[in-house]
Structure 1
Amino acid sequence: MKGTIQNINDHHCLLYLPPNYNALDINYPVVYINGDNNMEEIINSIESHFDVDCSTFILVTIESKNWNHDFSPWPAPALSKNSEDFSGGAYEYLSNLTNIIKPFIDAHYRTKTEPEHTIMIGYSLGGLATLYSLYLVGTFGKIGSLSGSLWYDGWIEFMSCNSPINNTTKVYLSLGKSEERSRNQRMAKVGNCTEKTFSILSKQLVSSQNIMLEWNNGGHFTEVTKRFIKALLWLMHI
């Protein structure tokens, strides 16, 4: 069951409710996806896994008002002359998600509200924002960063100087094997930075079993939906 929720604090959110939502009087985990991703394709691919090897969940995608603002943790220069600077609005975005959007969803739908049942996933810069949330709030007990922009200026240094709020969080990382072949010198660091992120988190989290790094074939835009499915199956494994 799909529907549109308009303007939760000026964020356009698309909602998915599981097939038996109206028939069963139970509460569900909630997966929040940073950015307006292809919800229909993701749901069509994963519904057959529900209650077999994946917990059934409510899904909320949150459209970004400004990608380079909402998902960047602090200001940084643009990647090219023709693109915008990164203006560092992730704190504001995550505050809205934690304090306004999530409470709205919890108040209007049957959700499991605890961190272990609250999941956030993002792709590219949206994946960086999911990891940034680890050091700001303990709201999300499961995190997915898919092809995350972990090349971002100062990211590794930030991780090294801070600790996750909730060190029992489960973290899924993935990257395409060809992504570090970028002609952009900053983006070309993504493979090395992803491995460093995995190494740092392996020490910061309570158990090495709480983190996964999966390498995919192709570049940044290869089989994006399949990468979402892989992340969800690992994070929501029964």
Structure 2
Amino acid sequence: MKTNFYISNIYQIKNYIFKNGIKADLYIESKRNSFLVILISFSKEEGEKVISLFNNLSYSLSFLNIYDFNWNDDLTPRYSEKIFNKGQGFKGNADNFLKFIINEVLSIIEKEMNPVIKIIAGYSLGGLFSLYSAYKCNEFNKVICASGSLWYPNLVNFIKENQISNNVKDVYFSLGDKEKYTSNRYMKNVYDNTLDIFNNIKEKGINTIFELNKGNHFVDNDIRVFKGIEWCIKQK
């Protein structure tokens, strides 16, 4: 059952459906040159939950909620076999998905508004993709990797061997404090990998924070992304 979340009427809302079936909803705040938060969402409702948390707050934010893509394939940087016996593998289509966002989605959106700052935000594999995109393009200024799937095979090596975009000024990391307690041989590394990547970025002089939240991976998704957005917009 789908739930509609109340979104403040300060936004002008535009909906887009692309030829590949991917959808994007633009929530334009009255100051069209403000922050644009790009949400890499599992569903329309997931993005709406995050946006609704900003109701009655005084931030000047517009949102772009992107959803209805292939979660396992489009957000992963390279092919990987499945990590659960009953799961599926990952095709590693992140580069193509990022090109689609830049060349097709943002090219249309930027005809509607001219954001000063672009923030890319995601949860789980969406957080992994948000971080990865900062190493593959110069589109984004702030990155939110909330409970990011940084257990992903060979990711730490990729981060250490590549340079994050010079346009990125702030990077927010978070995890649930119970996420590392798993028997899965990949996912049990999520805390150590996140800490390793956080320290690597910090050593490069980029403003960053790593926050631990209460709980496992499957609670408070919207609140964790909200906290990342709020931290980013408060940075100079």
Identity, in percent, stands at 28
Distance 1:180 1:104 in 2: 40
Residue aligning to 1:33: 39
Contact persistence 1:76–1:88 (CA under 8 A) = yes
Q: Does 1:221 align with 2:225?
A: no
| Matched residue type, 1:193 | N
Contact persistence 2:122–2:129 (CA under 8 A) = yes
Residue aligning to 1:74: 78
Distance 1:159 1:7 in 2: 31
Contact persistence 1:134–1:166 (CA under 8 A) = no
Partner SS for 2:219: coil
Distance 2:47 2:60 in 1: 15
Deviation at 1:65, TM superposition (A): 2.0
Deviation at 1:16, TM superposition (A): 1.8
Residue aligning to 2:123: 123
Distance 2:61 2:20 in 1: 23
- Please tell me the root mean square deviation across aligned C-alpha atoms, in Å: 1.8
The 1:41/1:167 distance shift into structure 2, 3 A limit, reads closer
| Matched residue type, 2:127 | G
1:16-165 equivalences in 2 (<5 Å): 16-18=27-29, 21=30, 26-35=32-41, 36=43, 38-50=46-58, 55-107=59-111, 109-112=112-115, 114=116, 117-165=117-165
Partner SS for 1:138: coil
Distance 1:154 1:64 in 2: 27
Distance 1:122 1:8 in 2: 23
Distance 2:104 2:15 in 1: 17
| Matched residue type, 1:231 | G
The 1:43/1:102 distance shift into structure 2, 3 A limit, reads same
Deviation at 1:195, TM superposition (A): 0.5
**TM-score normalised by L of structure 2:** 0.88
Deviation at 1:167, TM superposition (A): 6.0
1:18-37 Cα deviation digits (max 9, x unpaired): 3xx2xx6x522211111225
Partner SS for 2:25: strand
| Matched residue type, 2:200 | I
Q: Which runs of 4+ in 1 moved over 6 A?
A: none
The 1:64/1:154 distance shift into structure 2, 3 A limit, reads farther
Structure 1 portions without partners, runs of 5+ = none
Partner SS for 1:135: helix
Distance 2:151 2:165 in 1: 22
Partner SS for 2:180: helix
**TM-score normalised by L of structure 1:** 0.87
Q: Does 1:196 align with 2:193?
A: no
Residue aligning to 1:232: 229
Contact persistence 1:16–1:58 (CA under 8 A) = yes
1:134-154 Cα deviation digits (max 9, x unpaired): 211111000000100001000
Distance 1:179 1:45 in 2: 24
- Size of the alignment, in residue pairs? 222
Structure 2 portions without partners, runs of 5+ = 1-10
Deviation at 1:44, TM superposition (A): 2.3
| Matched residue type, 1:28 | S
Deviation at 1:229, TM superposition (A): 1.4
Deviation at 1:101, TM superposition (A): 0.8
Residue aligning to 1:7: 18
Partner SS for 1:38: helix
Distance 2:15 2:214 in 1: 34
Contact persistence 1:34–1:64 (CA under 8 A) = no
